[in-house]
Amino acid sequence: MLFPTIDFAIFFAVVFTVSWLLNPFPVPWKLFIVAASYFFYAWWDWRFVFLLAAATVIAHVGATAIERTSGTARRVAMWASVAGLLGLLGWFKYYGFFAVNLDNLFRSIGFGHPLPLLAITLPVAISFFTFMAISYVVDVERGVVRRARPIDLAVYLSFFPHLVAGPIVRGTELLPQIRRRRDAAEVEYARAFWLIASGLAKKVVLSSYLSANVVDPVFADPHQHSALEILMAVWGYGVQIYADFSGYTDIAIGIALLLGFRFPQNFDRPYTALSLQDFWRRWHMTLSFWLRDYLYIPLGGNRGTEPRIAANIMVTMLLGGLWHGAAWTFVIWGGIHGVGQVVGRRRRMYRLARGLPTVPVGRRRVALARFATFQFVCLGWLFFRADTVGVAWTMLTRAVTAWGSAPLVTPLAVGAVAIGIATQYVPDGWFDAVLTFFAERRVVVQGAILGLVLLAITTLGPAGVAPFIYYRF
């Protein structure tokens, strides 16, 4: 069930109404939200609700065992739970990838077919709810969060606004909100509607236009396109994936607000970043911080020798790439960012040791740092978007050799890319001023404004809406 559809509008209208009617009754409210969330997830394939339920059971059993034990047994219970959750993720998302690659390896050395090649359907959102379940179990073991009641845990993992594509909300952030009663008078309705409208505009208008008119045609057959078209497609994909994913996040945060919940911020102007380290503090922040807290720091983080720290960075980024998809293109994407972060760290350490500033100083250096960071990020996006490594290599080659006409590079396409980047440089105060203006209007005026915005989105958008990019992760 896609957010920008009539189906979801009807679904949410019912959920919104019943949710607030049941708000005074905690247990019925929780049962209703779980049922509604499972219905939402079952809209794609009802069979996979059992997978979501299995992840919930593993997390609850693990947390219970952790709470009732101590010492080594406590750690064993945590690792057993994490292993069970990763086992589900590994089977559905990575078995085919590793089986095919092992099959190719063993056939090349004459050992036949050691593993059966099975066609396993990838469940929507499995990476997201698995990572949330893992963070919950680990946080219970660390004493950061107390074990939740089964119904609270079920709401936490299945809550439909974040279920399909994040943000990755931690137990410390959402479980306390689930446990307390919400006050409809405290809901920031104006902010919620603003987020939903802006998210729809990003997804339905900007992302869809770039996808259909620039990105998809070039990535589908790069041999037919010139260097300038390939460059425009790569830049266009950088804007498309930002508009698509941040648009989803805006809608999810807005929907959650309408139901009385606050989700963490997931994007903070990522294309204004001055370095790759800065980029990852701004892009998909809930995943970045998850990888930092549950992978990078346990590996050793910034402790130890420089080679050890570099290895920690590379492992984290490679696994972060693999989290996005079971393909070598994602591994290479993670590797590119890993190498970039290692080199960036070495440069910062070198400058720090000599008493030089570790961040750019002055307009010219800041502009150059932002430009270089964006180009490097787009190099990674090329592999991220390409169906195969061969396609990515073809595009890289043609980007420097295939100079010629570029019919896809239209003023509208250039303008769409420019707008997608330029909006990230708009001062926060401007958006706050618009939101304040909207919030201070009467309900009738607010409705008229929203109606005009939705009319504009419907007019400028395509006839149908493609799934959000991160739905497949």
Which residues form the catalytic set?
324
Selection from 212, 216, 209, 208 nearest residue 234 by Cα = 216
Element (H, E) at 415: helix 411-422
- Cα-Cα-Cα-Cα dihedral sign, residues 27, 29, 35, 40: negative
* Run of H or E including 218: helix 216-220
Rounded (10°) angle between helices 49-67 and 150-158: 130
CA dihedral 280, 285, 288, 290 (to 10 degrees): 160
If you ran DSSP here, which 8-state letter would residue 47 be given? G
- Of 265, 258, 256, nearest to 186 by C-alpha is 258
Q: Which residue has the tokens 């092992």?
A: 102
Would you say 300 and 318 are in contact if contact means Cβ atoms under 8 Å apart? no
What is the DSSP secondary-structure string of 186-204?
G--HHHHHHHHHHHHIIII
Side chain identity at 49, as an amino acid letter? Answer: V
The residue among 177, 175, 142 whose CA lies nearest residue 157 is 175
Peptide bond before residue 167 is cis, with ω within 30 degrees of 0: yes
- Running DSSP on this structure, what letter comes out for residue 265? P
Six-digit token string for 308: 């050890």
Residue at 42: amino acid letter: A
Q: Which residue type sits at 156? A: Y
- 296 contacts 312 by C-beta, under 8 angstroms: yes
In this structure, what token pair is assigned to residue 409? 């590079």
> Residue 433: is it exposed, middle or buried by C-beta count within 10 angstroms (0-12/13-18/19+)?
exposed
